[in-house]
Structure 1
């Protein structure tokens, strides 16, 4: 069967070719079965693809930086800086070519930190950072940075709740989990797939002690 199936995932480190997309690790994926894949369907207006890689940049080029264990739902959209040529402070929003360089406004890199999850049809606007373990609800439009382990939804997206109590989030962030070798994280899967933070702390401390 050659058709895509919803159970299959596109692992980004295997498919991404744009040098302005930085992929960490080998576990971040896109649920691509309903469209043409991550680079063609999700990433919009990012220079560096096969058509635009020789174009003269309008200004500083932005990058899309994706951590490890990031889950990107089907038909999500990540808007990048190539679309930042509609000036709200000008009389006309139209991107006239005669003034296109003056119209360009650098928004900064877009960053999806380790372990975050974009629900189906989520939209991430240019220059946004999603914190570690953050969740973007299906159909949300994210215009501002999202704190670690927050759940956001709506248009524009707002914080609905945090996945865990603040104290637990602080304990997890203090572990710097995603600085560990990828193979160590995979071995810790039973703990990562649980709510036992105390056991995770013991395991991480042991790993770091043995690595000395």
Structure 2
């Protein structure tokens, strides 16, 4: 397994869990592992077999996104071997969404992925990445117009036939740019006036419910708790 990878333990599947793909949660740059764990446990309580990982680098996400994509590939292979599942659902936050998209586009991941979902992901990059681009390959990759993003966003942005979602908060910034080929939905289209910062997204109850409904293949829905 790739060095620098941090993995959560599998959550215990509840009723109906055997009918679902295992889920891999992927954190973003400088990921808050406690918040990622909160989402993993929440999904586990709802019958999912859920795993988590953060991106490569110290702090997490500072390595190149392509290197992190290979770490995603390694983790998916490990989950499939451990669970016997044919496919794994991916849920990437922020830069985690870029790494998982690189995996499904260029590392053969579309054959091993069921539902693809990213949330809070700046699909076209984020100008804020210029602040750390001098010292971090991951930041350089996320600068708008970078070689990495140009390659990643070349048509088609996601492989044809892949069930894909891009969820975002209108309270945040660059994540509002759509992902072509995906279902693009803002949290506030369900919960008008709700303020959810980028960092709060993994622990926001409405975002969690939208993720759950997408993974179940149901119409997107939330009670806006």
TM-score exceeds 0.5: no
Q: Which has the higher contact order (CA 8 A, sep 6+)?
A: 2
- Please report the TM-score for the alignment, with normalisation by the length of structure 1: 0.29
Q: Give 1 or 2: higher helix fraction.
A: 2
Larger radius of gyration: 1
- Please report the TM-score for the alignment, with normalisation by the length of structure 2: 0.28
